[in-house]
Amino acid sequence: MRQDWNDITFVHWAVDPGLVAPLLPPLTRPDVLDGVTYVGLIPFDMRRAGFGRGPAVPFLGGFAETNVRLYSVDAEGNHGVVFRSLETSRLLVALGARIAFATPYTWARMRITRDADRITYSTRRRWPGPHGAGGTMRVRVGGPIVAPTAAEEFVTARFGLHTRWLGRTLWIPNHHEPWPLRRATVERLDDDLVAAAGLPGVAGLEPDSTLHSTGVRTAFGRPRLVR
């Protein structure tokens, strides 16, 4: 699968690895940097999604998305993300992803608006529950980052994901160019998606990192069984 992830904002909180360990798939553990791992709230605009080298899927290949994600590593050293939830404005995408890949997509009302250097993301979950989960995030985009810190690379340069499918844990590689990152400031954050994903109280704290990117083209590779 190939996709463009555009107008993406990375909001992260540093947490104790023990907090997220029970939420990860079997045979994985929290990926840790300087004694902490991270919880991410990531809204963006998905575009030109398609399979293989074929064209983008009409209508279903473009939509707003917000995901809550954690960071994982397995015994073979494969680093990845673990999606706790993925909001999409396309019902068929949510249904298809759940049936085919056991990916926790949900159907939501979503909107992304931009006013100069400010971007507002809003979402409200339709299905499944908790009905109405979501919120509003407004960020102000700042200057470019020439040399990302280790933490900024940790939460953005993720080249795979771990997921559970048919009783087995898989690692799926993801390829993309380095993110063109910019500083960003959260001006408003009303969120209960993080709590609904099993992490109550986290989104009420001040984020430890907020970044923005115009986006990159990504490609998912063939899944590998984690042993």
pLDDT at residue 53 in the model:
59
> Exposed e or buried b for every residue in 15-28, given b needs 16+ CB within 10 A?
bebebbeeebbebb
Tell me the average pLDDT across 136-159: 97
Please tell me the pTM assigned to this model. 0.92
The full set of domain ranges for the chain reads: 2-225
Chain segment 63-88, per-residue pLDDT in tens:
899 999 999 999 999 999 999 999 99
Contact, 163 vs 82, CB < 8 A? yes
Whether residue 48 has pLDDT greater than 80: no
Residue 33 has a CB neighbour count (10 Å cut-off) of: 14
The three-class DSSP label of residue 214 is strand
> Exposed e or buried b for every residue in 130-161, given b needs 16+ CB within 10 A?
eeebbbebbbebeeebeebeebbebbbebebb
The three-class DSSP label of residue 213 is strand
Task: Tell me yes or no: is domain 2-225 CATH 2.40.400.10.
Answer: yes
Whether residue 153 has pLDDT greater than 90: yes
Tell me the average pLDDT across 97-119: 89
Of the candidates 54, 115, 61, 120, which has an alpha carbon nearest to the alpha carbon of residue 88? 61
